[in-house]
Structure formats: structure tokens, C-alpha cells
């Protein structure tokens, strides 16, 4: 049985999701931030015959994120999406989204990324973190300027200085940095932090300072801080060479994270 969840379901819902905290980073974060009573956000749950929660579907504006620990009513979830006039996107773990995919019209685009998490750092890694600083609100402008110098980030920075300052101030994001002569030369950041997990993003080093282990040290220190607070770290990557570096620190692949885009004028198929 699938039904809409309410604030009365919050405790059981989060308990279910936090069994896989990294995998459910976005769903947990959205529930903790916005709850169950917003027009732009809705959460459905599927229950088995023993009234146990077995799957979740989150709607955040026009994007849907499903999660299930085993077999679930994929067609039922697809039906909910297909009846939404604003449905434009679905994202989630490959094993879950690909169960729903056959019940939807063909996506306009489909992108897969590696999804990895880390709960414990590898003890055999000798990482020099002595030069690492935790970024303050005053570093927001310098951090964005640094990212604009990184080719893969230069045209895709989704924030402003003011928003970055707010995120650093309220704990939604944090960053570790290495500076030389007052200038940031390497950094790693978090985003979408919640009470159980955080996404690591913006891992980069200036071209002139590469191959010194700076980015590795920034990620290592960031993970260490998260673990001290009882949080899991997770990240996306699409470059297998980057994946090797992350795995040396202690990251393990969870699955693939798949992102679908659909035409705005969407009509569900086969429902």
C-alpha cells in the first residue's frame, strides 16, 4: 500500500531512511529542512502487509527521488509521477530508478554517475593535514574565485557570494582549504548536510599546485570532521581515476546515481 506521509510519520520515516544515511542524503536533508507540509514537497511511503515501511518517494518541486531496500511497487511510484503536471526529473540509485523506468515515457536525457560513501578512513594512509584550514564566512568570496579558476567548475558554480556566506554560516555547507600567500590553492566542500550525512563537492587544486596531495588532504580532513560528528560522507564522481584516489582514503562505491530529465509536457506510459 502506498500513501502520502504526514508529520506523524516523521520519526519512522527518518529511522527507515537513516539505515542508509549516505544513500538517502537528499531525502533526509529535505525532510529535516522542509518537513511534510509544504506545497513544493510531498513524501509517499509504501508499506508491506505488516505495516512496515519498505519504500519512499520524495517530490521536491518537479524532481522525484525514490528509495527502496528491496522489491517495491515501481509501477505505483511511476503512476504518482505521471499524474503530476509539473513532473520533469527523477534521480536516485540505479537499482531503484531502473525498476521505475519501464513504467515511464522515454526520458529526454539520462546521466549516470558513480556514487560512493565513506564511514571510516583508511588507517594506512599517511596524509599531511597540517596546512588545512576550515573555511570561514570571510573565505566565501575567495572560495568561489578559486573554483572559477578550475576548468571543470568555471561555468557551473550554482551559487553567489551571499548564498555561500549563508551556507557556511548556517552549517548547510563547510569547506577545508589550503592557502598560500593568502590565496586558496586547494579545497573540498560539503553541501546538503543533514544530521546523518553530507555530500562532498568541489574537490579541486589549482593546476600550478597539483600532484602534492592537497586535494586528498582536504577531503581526508573534511571526512575526519564529519565522522567525529557521527555523519557519513558521500560523493559523486564520473572519472575512474578520481575514484581510485577516493577509494584510497576509504570511499566505497554504493551504486550508480542516475538522473533523468523528461519533457515538461509529460504523460506517463503504460499506467
- Domains recognised in the chain with CATH numbers: 2-113+257-261 (3.40.630), 121-249 (3.40.630.30)
Predicted local confidence at residue 197, as pLDDT: 93
Cβ-contact 169, 215 below 8 angstroms: no
Q: What are the distances in angstroms from CA 246 to CA 105, 141, 211, 235, 256?
A: 36, 27, 15, 9, 16
Predicted local confidence at residue 135, as pLDDT: 95
State whether residue 73 is helix, strand or coil: coil
Task: Please return the burial class of 37, using the count of CB atoms within 10 Å of its CB with bins 0-12, 13-18 and 19+.
Answer: exposed
Cβ-contact 124, 178 below 8 angstroms: no
Cβ-contact 192, 29 below 8 angstroms: yes
Task: Indicate the pTM of the whole model.
Answer: 0.88
Q: What is the pLDDT of residues 139-196, one digit of tens each?
A: 999 999 999 999 888 777 767 899 989 989 988 889 999 999 999 999 999 988 999 9
Q: What is the pLDDT of residues 86-102, one digit of tens each?
A: 999 999 999 999 999 99
Which segments of the chain have a pLDDT < 70?
A: 123-125, 158, 265-271
Predicted local confidence at residue 270, as pLDDT: 46
Amino acid at each position: 500500500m502506498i500513501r502520502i506521509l504526514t508529520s506523524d510519520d516523521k520519526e519512522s520515516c527518518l529511522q527507515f531512511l537513516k539505515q542508509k544515511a549516505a544513500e538517502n542524503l537528499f531525502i533526509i536533508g529535505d525532510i529535516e529542512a522542509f518537513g511534510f507540509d509544504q506545497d513544493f514537497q510531498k513524501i509517499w511511503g509504501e508499506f508491506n502487509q505488516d505495516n512496515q515501511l519498505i519504500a519512499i518517494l520524495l517530490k521536491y518541486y518537479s524532481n522525484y527521488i525514490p528509495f527502496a531496500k528491496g522489491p517495491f511497487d515501481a509501477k505505483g511510484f511511476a503512476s504518482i509521477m505521471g499524474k503530476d503536471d509539473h513532473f520533469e526529473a527523477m534521480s536516485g540509485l540505479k537499482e531503484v530508478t531502473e525498476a521505475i523506468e519501464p513504467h515511464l515515457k522515454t526520458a529526454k536525457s539520462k546521466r549516470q554517475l558513480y556514487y560512493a560513501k565513506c564511514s571510516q578512513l583508511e588507517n594506512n594512509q599517511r596524509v599531511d593535514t597540517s596546512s588545512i584550514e576550515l573555511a570561514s564566512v570571510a573565505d566565501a568570496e575567495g572560495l568561489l574565485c578559486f573554483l572559477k579558476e578550475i576548468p571543470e567548475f568555471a561555468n557551473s558554480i550554482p551559487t553567489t557570494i551571499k548564498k555561500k556566506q549563508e551556507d557556511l554560516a548556517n552549517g548547510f555547507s563547510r569547506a577545508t582549504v589550503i592557502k598560500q600567500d593568502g590565496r586558496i590553492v586547494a579545497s573540498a566542500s560539503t553541501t546538503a548536510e543533514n544530521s546523518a550525512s553530507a555530500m562532498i563537492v568541489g574537490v579541486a587544486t589549482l593546476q600550478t599546485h597539483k600532484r602534492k596531495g592537497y586535494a586528498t588532504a582536504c577531503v581526508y580532513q573534511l571526512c575526519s570532521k564529519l565522522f567525529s560528528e557521527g555523519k557519513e560522507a558521500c560523493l559523486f564522481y564520473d572519472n575512474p581515476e578520481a575514484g581510485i584516489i577516493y577509494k584510497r582514503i576509504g570511499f566505497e562505491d554504493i551504486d550508480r546515481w542516475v538522473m533523468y530529465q523528461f519533457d515538461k509536457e509529460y504523460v506517463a506510459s503504460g499506467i
